[in-house]
Amino acid sequence: MKRRRAVVLVRAAVLAGSILVLEACCRTGIIDPLTVIPPSAMFASMIDRIGSGELNESVFSTFSTILLAFTLAIGCGTLAGAMIHRSTRLRDVVDPLLASYYSVPTFIFYPLLVALLGLGKAPLVVLGVLSATPAVVISTLSGFDGVAPVLLKLARVHHLGPARTLWWIVLPAALPRLFTGLKLALSYALIGVIAGEFILSGTGLGYDISFAYQSFDNRAMYGTMLFVLLVAVIANGFLYSWEGRLARRRSRG
Amino acid sequence: MSGLSLESARASPASRRRIRAFDTVVLILSMLALWQAVGSWTSGVAIAPPWQTLVYLLGLVRTWMFWDHAAATLIAFVMAFLLSTLIGLALGLILGMRSFAGEVAEPLLAGFYTIPKVTLYPVVLLIFGLGLSAKVAFGVMHGLVPITLFTLGAVRNLSPVLIRTAKVLHLSPGRTLRWILVPACMPDIVNGLRIGFSLSLLGVLIGEMFSSQRGLGFLLVNGMAQHNVPLSTAIVTVIVVVAIAANTLMLRLGRRTAPRSVH
């Protein structure tokens, strides 16, 4: 316990130290302010931009897109995973596909999606779904694989139908793995949507950053960037700790 | 339950393999059919149909322009991957052996792994300027962390028996590394390298797509901007095929380095 606290303290110190060093370098001119602005200025710019409501529209647009992609990915992924799990034959074919899916940089499809669906939200949603769904499929499969045979026997003994077996036995038993899929899906959907906005789009936080960069507005760029990164870190950290709590509760029995 | 799964579970391994080969062919054909359908449905404004793409691609690889861009991407990627590998292996080894430092660093690295790093690309551009070094740096930003994390995990989860064996045999640090550490950690390291490979490729390509005058990523975006649909479809095809081939190769390699028997 003592060691764990020491680890957390050192980690916080490392983070704080690097921010301070960056701040000092920027203030003393070792780092050109045209390249990187001091962290305090980034933070002030972020607060300004949130306070003035400049970001509201982009925040709404980006997060509604991410949420839509995330929901679709969870739905499609779990459904596809459950279906693939039932058929060995399908599984044999799909497994190699899943194994190499993430080696393909999904973003390269984005220009094609834009040409196909126009420059609205649709290509962003599709890009988010494309990057997030396979993670859900993979974790659904591994979750269902991990269900102890004895539990399935139990379901048979109690004459549960397929739907009830799924709801009462398989899903709860597979929950930790499913949760991992959920966590990955959020992070992939976030990355997919923001990267899409960044490369080629007219709205959203990713576009704001790229627009600020192209108009040499460093203050706005770093403010928005810090906001996006903080939101991503907080969202991931939240899911991470939730996952840890879930695992601890399970190990307690 | 579907009858199919029972049937193939009961079938002999040889016939199961034959069924799998057949199904794989069906899968590939249906993907081509889908590609064709999307291509002709949009009458070629977004995606060129497979045959047209292939013909275009065959013409494209004969041009000097294509190889110029491909070489630009390849150089940036090779440099990014090599740097990620060298730094990642060293960092993972150190953090894995020093458990306190490892515990401090791991969540920081994992946190960096999950953030949308694209948003940081302007910073990279401001620091390195337009050109090769920015692409390489961005590739390293993507590829370094998974290699470090996998190496760290492999070294940390090393069975203490192996370390004790090395001590008993009075192996020098160099020999311990050569005969104990590397073989024991190899499967995880290959896995990390595989992920690092795809991610540094991703980093380099995103860099090219966002702002660059050379490389396949630039060619892809440029093709789209000039409504040269066959060009962008051909580039996407090339990247997909190369990425999948490299990944499959490394998966095989990973399986070969996996321990043959566990005592």
| Structure-block tokens of residue A129 | 């779904």
Residue numbers in B near A191 (CB within 8 A): 116-118
Give the long-range contacts of residues B69-74, CB within 8 A, separation 24 or more.
B69/B214, B69/B215, B69/B216, B69/B218, B69/B219, B70/B216, B70/B238, B72/B132, B72/B208, B72/B214, B72/B215, B72/B216, B73/B204, B73/B205, B73/B208, B73/B215, B73/B216, B73/B217
User: Taking the model in full, what pTM does it have?
Assistant: 0.85
Residue numbers in A near B243 (CB within 8 A): 100, 103-105
Domains of chain A, by residue range, sit at 1-36, 40-252
How far from A128 is each of A1, A131, B126, B191, CA to CA, in Å? 40, 5, 28, 25
Kindly report the number of other CB atoms within 10 A of residue A35's CB atom.
13
Cα angle for residues B257, A181, B110 (degrees, 5° grid): 65
Using the Cβ of A88 and the Cβ atoms of chain B, whether some distance falls under 8 Å is answered with: yes
Using the Cβ of B129 and the Cβ atoms of chain A, whether some distance falls under 8 Å is answered with: no
Q: Using CB atoms, which residue from B194, B220, B247 is nearest to A111?
A: B220
**Class of the domain covering A40-252:** mainly alpha
| A112 contacts B118? CB cut-off 8 A | no
The complex scores an ipTM of: 0.82
Q: What is the pLDDT of residue A95?
A: 85
| B23 contacts A93? CB cut-off 8 A | yes
Q: Using CB atoms, which residue from A15, A35, A190 is nearest to B116?
A: A190
Q: What is the pLDDT of residue B263?
A: 43
Chain A, 205 to 244: residues with Cβ < 8 Å from chain B are: 205-206, 209-210, 212-213, 218, 221, 225, 228-229, 232-233, 236-237
Chain A, 91 to 130: residues with Cβ < 8 Å from chain B are: 92-93, 96-97, 99-100, 102-105, 107-109, 111-112, 114-116
| B23 contacts A89? CB cut-off 8 A | yes
Q: What is the pLDDT of residue A118?
A: 82
| Structure-block tokens of residue B68 | 């110029």
Tens digit of pLDDT at every position of chain B (263 positions):
344 444 445 557 778 788 888 888 888 899 899 888 888 887 767 788 888 889 999 998 888 889 999 999 999 999 999 999 999 999 998 898 888 888 888 888 888 888 888 888 888 888 888 888 999 999 999 999 999 999 998 888 888 888 888 888 888 888 888 888 888 888 888 889 999 999 999 999 988 888 778 889 999 888 888 888 888 889 999 999 999 999 888 888 888 877 654 44
Q: Using CB atoms, which residue from A34, A115, A209 is nearest to B224?
A: A115
Q: What is the pLDDT of residue A247?
A: 76
How many angstroms separate the CA atoms of A214 and A95, rounded?
43
Q: What is the pLDDT of residue B104?
A: 87
> Which residues does chain A have with pLDDT short of 50?
none
Q: Using CB atoms, which residue from B16, B119, B122 is nearest to A229?
A: B119
Q: What is the pLDDT of residue B11?
A: 58
Residue numbers in B near A187 (CB within 8 A): 114
Residue numbers in A near B122 (CB within 8 A): 209-210, 212-213, 221, 225
- Do residues A218 and A34 lie in contact, with contact meaning Cβ atoms separated by under 8 Å? yes
- Do residues B212 and B130 lie in contact, with contact meaning Cβ atoms separated by under 8 Å? yes
End-to-end CA distance of chain B: give it in Å, rounded: 38
Q: What is the pLDDT of residue B260?
A: 55
Q: What is the pLDDT of residue A252?
A: 65
Q: Which of B140, B118, B141, B74 is nearest to B206 (CA)?
A: B118
- Do residues A88 and B5 lie in contact, with contact meaning Cβ atoms separated by under 8 Å? yes
Using the Cβ of A89 and the Cβ atoms of chain B, whether some distance falls under 8 Å is answered with: yes
Q: What is the pLDDT of residue A253?
A: 52
| Ramachandran region, residue A201 (left: φ > 0; alpha: ψ -120 to 50; beta: rest) | beta
Residue numbers in A near B100 (CB within 8 A): 3, 6-7, 10
